[in-house]
Structure 1
Amino acid sequence: MTDLTPRKRAVVFGYHNVGVRCLKVLLAGGVDVALVVTHEDNASENIWFESVISLCQSEGIPYITPADAKSPELLEQVKAVQPDLMFSFYYRNMLPAELLAVAPAFNMHGSLLPEFRGRAPVNWAVLHGATETGATLHEMTVKPDAGAIVSQMEVPILPDDTAHEVFGKVQVAAEQALWRVLPSLLGGTAVRRHNDLSKGGYFSGRKPEDGRIDWSQPAQQVYNLHRAVAPPYPGAFTDVGGVRYVIERARFRDHLSNDFCRSLPLGLTVVDNCIFGVCGDGRALTISALTADGVPVTAQQLQARLAA
């Protein structure tokens, strides 16, 4: 028997890897994606992620890239589609109340709400030493990341995971969280769970300058900073003698204790042809890849520079 139930029509606001993967989930789930709202790539940004525009082009999905999510033109374009549902998958702009009133709207957030609400949730989770995070699909409200939760999927953060590695896990978690709830969401039977805003907290976006290392901090905190902003993000850095050194790869091990570091100055140093970052608690990071003003530097080169 042929299923004559009309497909649900959706407008998707999306960008980044999560935008690509979740858009594919909607298509696989039989959703009629009538319009995608996305961003043009910024030429000054390190684009290491997949393209929503490329997916739209390959699938024949209409897409637009408005500069302002609050523009009357965008509101009229979305209304003209007459969507049954709207989704936001890592779209970078907040949607105004007038737009959210067009149809029920759901956002995919890269944390286990209510934890790490706001911007750059994966980076903040790693920076704070969290051992678990995930993805949450929730109802959209004017207040960011405040709506009822409809689906969550958790992933572990291992002790040496960088934010980029964790983001790869969160991307899969987002796909799973959406796939799991999509049938009930389309059928209007999805269960809502309270998003307790008395827990967790809001976090702002991060800037490259936030990667500056304070060597007086304990080694675990410095290591968490490195992990949170390691490439393809701008990296944790320190300035010595007018040169900016960026840590590309490092590890932290407890056996590099006070006995080893007692006579060493805080910051970058070289011992036995190995680069270390000595921290305020008398422990150190072992640095296996370091750049100086964007150029890789060896232990011998660093030692010569520090002795000059």
Structure 2
Amino acid sequence: MHRLLFMGTPDFSVPILRMLHEEGYTIVGVVTQPDRPVGRKRVLTPPPVKAEALRLGLPVIQPEKLRGSSELEEIKALAPDLIVTAAFGQILPKALLEVPKLGCINVHASLLPAYRGGAPIHQAVMDGCTETGVTIMYMAEKLDAGDIISQANETILPTDDTGMMFEKLSRTGENLLKETLPSILEGTNERIPQDEELVTFAKNISREQERIDWTRPGMDIHNQVRGLSPWPTAYTTFGDENVKIWKTEAMQTDSEGKPGEIIELTKEHILVKSGDDTAVAITELQPSGKKRMTASVFLNGTGSQWEKGDLFL
């Protein structure tokens, strides 16, 4: 029986770990990120993969950093035949990549060589893509550059945000790995080198990417909002306070105004001028220090002082 080591951290990884357990694979250990403070009260909280691993009765290792750590030696001592990773959150050092005789494979949420990096789902939605997918790949020292084993496509609907796509692609990854893993263990799988000329990147989201630039085209802003929802969330500034923008719609308009100017207030939305003739209708928002709410609730309450002609910066 082959010995598998699983490495993953967020909710995306949980169904994949669960599938491996349900299929009867021998999982010698689960490696995940350390517990982190969460919420305003900063409650120390285990990552989703740790919670699932403990529920399944699997041993858990939580290195702050793998390279040169005592945990790395602990992982190597488990002598896995294959390492399976899915959104683990750290680059695996060469000393670990060389341990399993069948190699290290990764469940990556893009159709490689597109969107190598830590935020492939966010970036695909922000870029307005209508399709993405999952790649099962061999891991290499260079980030997401290993040979492709298998791929599966997934549609991005106009109404999908990043949270919805995480759920879709997690299921896609689970099913694809379930189909692909037997051939990997048998040594009959494909190995397709990536075309370096087609490589694009999706780096981790920066704070600068979260801020809305109202001079951009309206559809780009709308895609930015849904690409950053439900985390880390796009934001704009009204007066001296930041306002999180959770949900928008793109609407054609012939209204005049400066980019960022409120050009219409209705019961359902706050319509804001962009850099072109596609306005951005804010339908859900979160003012500083308040809860997420619909535009309707906001305008009937504390937002009632907002007026046509006011400006977001």
Match of 1:289 in 2: 284
| Residues 215 and 278, structure 1, Cα contact 8 Å, conserved in 2 | yes
Distance 1:272 1:125 in 2: 31
SS in 2 for 1:86: strand
Output the CA distance in 2 between the equivalents of 1:272 and 1:29.
53
Could you tell me which residue of structure 2 aligns to residue 99 of structure 1?
96
Tell me the residue number matched to 1:304. Answer: 305
The answer for the alignment partner of 1:32 in structure 2 is 26
Identity among equivalent pairs (%): 31
TM-score by length of 2: 0.88
Superposition deviation, residue 159 in structure 1: 1.5
Corresponding residue for 1:3?
none
Output the CA distance in 2 between the equivalents of 1:48 and 1:73: 23
Residue correspondences, number? 296
Moved over 3 A (4+): 44-50, 300-303, 305-308
Relative distance call for 1:172 and 1:285 in structure 2 (3 A) is: same
Q: Partners of 1:68 and 1:236 in 2: how far apart?
A: 30
The equivalent residue for 1:257 is 253
Q: How far apart are residue 49 of structure 1 and its match?
A: 11
1:111–1:45: structure 2 CA closer, same or farther, 3 Å change rule? farther
> Alpha-carbon deviations, 1:155-181, whole Å to 9, x = none?
001122111111111111110110110
In 2, distance between residues paired with 1:109 and 1:45? 28
Measured after TM superposition, the shift of residue 303 of structure 1 is: 5.3
Amino acid at match of 2:243: Y
* Counterpart secondary structure, 1:298: helix
Partner Cα separation in structure 2 for residue 77 and residue 102 of structure 1: 12
Contact 1:38–1:52 at 8 Å: present in 2 too? Answer: yes
SS at match of 1:177: helix
Query: Which residue matches 2:170?
Result: 171
CA contact (8 A) 1:29 1:182 kept: no
CA distance in 1: counterparts of 2:11 and 2:152, whole angstroms: 17
The TM-score with structure 1 as length reference comes to: 0.89
1:277 aligns with 2:276: no
* Residue matched to 1:234: 232
Give the Cα separation in 1 of the matches to 2:198 and 2:118: 17
Tell whether the 8 Å contact from 1:36 to 1:62 is kept in structure 2 after alignment.
yes
- Show structure 1 runs of 5+ residues with no match: 1-6
* Mapped partners of 1:125, 1:139: distance in 2: 22
2-side partners of 1:48 and 1:156: how far apart? 33
Matches of residues 85-124 of structure 1 in structure 2 within 5 Å?
85-103=82-100, 104-124=103-123
Residue by residue over 1:224-283, the C-alpha shift from the partner in whole angstroms, topping out at 9 and shown as x without a partner, is 11111122x132111121021221221113xx322xx22x34225243444112101032
Structure 1 range deviating more: 199-208 or 104-113: 199-208
CA contact (8 A) 1:17 1:49 kept: no
1:132 match = 131
Q: Does 1:66 align with 2:63?
A: yes
Task: Name the aligned partner's letter for residue 214 of structure 1.
Answer: D
Unaligned runs of 5+ in 2: none
User: How do 1:5-16 residues align onto structure 2 when only pairs under 5 Å count?
Assistant: 7-16=1-10
1:176 maps to a residue whose letter is N
Question: What do you get for the CA RMSD once the two structures are aligned?
Answer: 2.3
